């Protein structure tokens, strides 16, 4: 996961445009497996911000989104959650969710 952990909930609530927050852990097998399908889906959506958040013990941001399993993808439009996917297994599912937040 990237070092995007300096982001807080207030920052995310104020985002403009389309964004995906990916909650997970670098050691998580499900997260590692999902990377190829997440990348494949995002290639088609260059305007969507992708924030990877290292989640786990002591990390409060995931709790503010009620994240229970990894990876969890939270799709935002102008800071508002539109849809979420937990442990996505197919790029088509991610693409369908992206279509709901990116209209370009």
**Closest alpha carbon to 74 in 30, 9, 6, 3:** 9
- Residue 42's SS3 state is helix
Residue positions annotated with a catalytic role: 28, 31
| CATH 3.40.30.10 corresponds to the domain 4-101 | yes
pLDDT at position 98: 97
Tens of pLDDT, residue by residue over 10-63, are 999 999 999 999 999 999 999 999 999 999 999 999 999 999 999 998 889 999
**CA atoms of 70 and 30, how far apart (whole Å):** 7
Pairing of strands 18-24, 80-86: unpaired
What would the pLDDT profile of 63-94 be if each residue is shown by its tens digit?
999 999 999 999 999 999 999 999 999 999 99
pTM (2 decimals)?
A: 0.92
């Amino acid at each position: 996961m990237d070092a995007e952990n300096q982001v807080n909930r207030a920052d995310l609530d104020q985002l403009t445009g389309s964004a995906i927050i990916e909650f997970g852990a670098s050691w998580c097998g499900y997260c590692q497996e999902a990377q190829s399908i997440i990348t494949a889906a995002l290639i088609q959506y260059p305007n969507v911000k992708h924030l990877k958040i290292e989640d786990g013990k002591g990390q409060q941001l995931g709790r503010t989104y009620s994240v229970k399993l990894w990876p969890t993808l939270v799709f935002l439009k102008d800071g508002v959650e539109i849809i979420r996917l937990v442990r996505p297994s197919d790029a088509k599912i991610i693409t369908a969710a992206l279509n709901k937040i990116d209209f370009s």
